[in-house]
Amino acid sequence: MTRTYRPFRTLRSALPGLLGLLICATPVHAEELAIHGSNTIGAKLAPMLVEGFLHHRGNDPVQTHSNGKENEVIVTGNQSGEALQVLVASHGSSTGFTALAAGNADVWASSRAVKSTEVEKMAERANLKEPESEHVIAIDGLAVLVHPSNQVDQLSIDTLAKIFSGEITDWSQIGGAPRAISLYARDDRSGTWDTFKSLVLGKQYTLHTSAKRYESNDRLSDDVSADPGGIGFSGLASVRNSKVLAISDGEAPALKPSRLTVASEDYPLSRRLFMYTTGNTTPDLAKEFLGFVLDEEGQAIVSRSGFVSQTPLAVKPDFDNSTPATFKRLTQNYRRLTVNFRFSEGHTKLDNKAQRDLQRVADYLNKEDLNASDLLLIGFADQQGDELRAQMVSELRALSVRKALSQLGIGNATHTGYGHYMPVGSTGGATGQQRNGRVEVWVRAQ
């Protein structure tokens, strides 16, 4: 796919004639890249990734400019006298799919998973659910934001839904100071909105008509931080000056988004950030870009951008009073890796992210000079009909990860199951079931 972008023609520059001469003097490279979709990704992360990618390829200098359109930038690199230009257009996740389907995008950036209807529409060109097309580039926590002076520190998902649907209208109803609640929400084209609608409102609630809608996460957060009665939601990288609330799901403890809770997807409003391509027909430059993004260098950029990378890190968790004493004894000599293995269907089939995380865990062990004897895999199940079945399911999950790691040369790691105890989400529901059914990775403390 070849495009020639002329970004500087629309710049409001004091020296338009000079810039025009510079562009004419620098030939445009035939290989170009167009990324369309999520504002959560495109506002900051995607341009940073493109800049890093172009530097990695040997481009110098690399510059990012507006093309004159709101929420669009052009990133330009220069190598051996040839310019390579990359468009990042950030008008919402659904717009990225439209561009990909129309052949106007090489990469679709999305802050939600592909919908079944979108998979069907693209079926003749690519299977967007296959690993060749679906790329998890980062983990984000959907941060619930309030004014810094707000006395409320935590909310349940159910209470959050009642607030945004208009059933709860004053902060005094939930332990805050008497003040009317003002609602701030992302617009309908946003993957952030799709995630909030799915995880919080569900089919039972609808957003109240008084909510102010935004295309930009940053603008939403800035307005919430200026409104003592305000509450909104944004991507983790757009917290800015707002206060972040801890969120609970069902009987699970309330959690704030953090490096561990988001990377492991234990935080109830955590979500994956995606880039989708057309599989085997993806242009070579886009394939090269995705390879860079998913590798350690690209994931380091993810961390610098304010999102959570997928590069494993060993941390000591802060156990609360709900953590069983038996679990504390089991893990007392270990640190937890910031990765959970989750499953796409059934009990033991690893999803696309988990397939890539296997290699990341193997790379971590090699880098830290550790081996299988330093690993502890703990499987968990969602609520089952009886305790014995839950124990069996959790052990099978841990065993499936152990076998997958052994295929990468990691010997027989210690594994166990913890049944349906220590849920991180509401039990029984589709979302909670997926989150509760997991395998945690622990490494021996050095």
Chain segment 119-178, per-residue pLDDT in tens: 999 999 999 999 999 999 999 889 999 999 999 999 999 999 999 999 999 999 999 999
Q: Is residue 1 part of a domain?
A: no
pLDDT at residue 431, as a whole number: 58
Same domain, 195 and 124: no
Per-residue pLDDT averaged across 283-290, rounded?
Answer: 97
Query: For residue 427, what pLDDT is reported?
Result: 64
Mean pLDDT of the 92-106 span: 96
Report the alpha-carbon distance of residue 160 to residue 172 in Å, rounded: 14
2 within domain boundaries = no
- Copy the structure tokens of residue 14: 């004091």
* pLDDT band at residue 286 using 50, 70 and 90 as cut-offs: very high
Same domain, 130 and 11: yes
What CATH number did the domain enclosing 340 receive?
3.30.1330.60
Q: Are 247 and 289 in the same domain?
A: no
Residue 264 lies in a domain: no
pLDDT at 409: 94
| Rounded Cα distance, 416 and 308, in Å | 28
Predicted confidence at residue 406, as pLDDT, reads 96
Q: Is residue 300 part of a domain?
A: yes
Average pLDDT, the chain: 89
Q: Are residues 316 and 435 in the same domain?
A: yes
Residues 107, 160 share a domain: no
Q: Are residues 198 and 236 in the same domain?
A: yes
In contact, 89 and 76? CB cutoff 8 Å: no
Q: What is the pLDDT of residue 386?
A: 83
Looking at the structure, do residues 188 and 250 belong to the same domain, yes or no?
yes
Choice between 15 and 226, residue whose per-residue pLDDT is larger: 226
The count of structural domains within the chain is 3
218 within a domain of the structure (yes/no): yes
In a domain? residue 17:
yes
| Both tokens assigned to 442 | 């622990």
Q: Which of 86, 98, 113, 94 lies closest to 3, judged by CA? A: 86
| DSSP labels, 87-106 | EEE-S-HHHHHHHHHTT--S
160: in domain:
yes
The sign of the dihedral angle between the CA atoms of 402, 280, 272, 310 is positive
57 and 100 share a domain? yes
Q: Is residue 278 part of a domain?
A: yes
Long-range Cβ contacts of 159-164 (<8 Å, 24+ apart): 160/200, 160/247, 161/200, 161/201, 161/202, 161/204, 161/205, 162/205, 163/231, 164/196, 164/200, 164/201, 164/205, 164/207, 164/208, 164/211, 164/231
Q: Residue 27 — pLDDT band, cuts 50, 70, 90?
A: very low
Task: Determine the residue type at 209.
Answer: T
Residues 217 and 190 in one domain: yes
Q: Is the pLDDT of residue 22 over 60?
A: no
Domain CATH code at residue 54:
3.40.190.10
Q: What is the dihedral of CA 263, 189, 216, 96, to 10 degrees?
A: 70
Same domain, 327 and 382: yes
Tell me the pLDDT tens digit for each residue of 222-245.
Answer: 999 999 999 999 988 899 999 999
**pLDDT at 52 > cutoff 90:** yes
What is the side-by-side strand order in the sheet with 212-214?
A: 212-214, 182-186, 230-234, 143-146, 243-244
Residues 155 and 126 in one domain: no
Look at residue 29 and tell me whether its pLDDT is greater than 50: no
For residues 258 and 17, give the distance between their C-alpha atoms in angstroms, rounded to a whole number.
Answer: 48
Q: With 50 as the cut, is the pLDDT of residue 186 above it? A: yes
Domain that holds residue 50: 7-136+274-305
Examine the domain organization and report whether 440 and 316 are in the same domain. Answer: yes
Nearest to 190 by CA among 272, 100, 112: 112
The yes-or-no verdict on residue 10 having pLDDT over 50 is no
